[in-house]
Amino acid sequence: MGGTFNPIHIGHLIIAERAREQFDLEEVLFMPCGMPYMKDTSELLPSDIRAEMVSLAIKDNPFFTLSTIEIEKEGSTYTYETLEQLKSENPDTEYYFILGADSLWTISDWKEPERIFANCHILAAVRDDKSAQDMKKRINFLKNKFDARISLLKTGLIEISSSTIRDSVKKGTSVRYLVPNNVYDYIIKNKLYKC
């Protein structure tokens, strides 16, 4: 499961746990990205801080592991390169890439999308702005265009976003229960996301 995790929140953890259960995954790697080439990085916290929040959030789940493979790379990070590296290091492992509906709509514009699909099975979680019917249409389109392996995650609608959490912190409103307690404490203690 990749992303900026700026910050990691309860929605990320719920989606990862549902994916693990539904697809009998041995382990879920939480992989904070280094320098995302397609996102505005003006509000992006340094990678070590985001990795620390991920570590705090997942520490009580024995099936969740922090991977720093992308934040250790110089320059922009590309999903296809990460997947190819993982496959070369563990050729007998079947990889699943967990993402939200928003990414399912943009993945065909990512760098080398055919190489992403060739190296993993996509697990797509429904978000509040996409219906299950729209998701199925998009999945069929990607399957036909890229011979992609994509499955829909049954997670229910999770209306939490990192951007909403950052905005709430800036406004001084509580984000308690949107992030794990130890992540909440870390944000407050370190005065993160303040204007």
Residue 75 backbone zone (phi > 0: left; psi -120 to 50: alpha; other: beta): left
User: What pLDDT is recorded for position 101?
Assistant: 84
Residue 150: which CATH number?
A: 3.40.50.620
Verdict on whether the full-model pTM lies above 0.85: yes
- Indicate whether 185 pLDDT > 70: yes
User: Does 106 reside within a domain?
Assistant: yes
- Indicate whether 37 pLDDT > 70: no
User: Does 188 reside within a domain?
Assistant: no
Q: What is the average per-residue pLDDT within 22-47? A: 87
Of residues 128 and 74, which shows the higher confidence score? 74
Domain that holds residue 50: 2-157
User: What pLDDT is recorded for position 59?
Assistant: 97
- Indicate whether 82 pLDDT > 70: yes
User: What pLDDT is recorded for position 159?
Assistant: 80
- Indicate whether 80 pLDDT > 70: yes
Alpha-carbon span 90 to 76, nearest angstrom = 23
User: Does 173 reside within a domain?
Assistant: no
User: Does 189 reside within a domain?
Assistant: no
User: Does 172 reside within a domain?
Assistant: no
User: What pLDDT is recorded for position 135?
Assistant: 87
**Number of domains present in the structure of the chain:** 1
User: Does 192 reside within a domain?
Assistant: no
User: Does 57 reside within a domain?
Assistant: yes
Q: Provide the percentage of residues in the chain whose pLDDT is more than 70.
A: 95
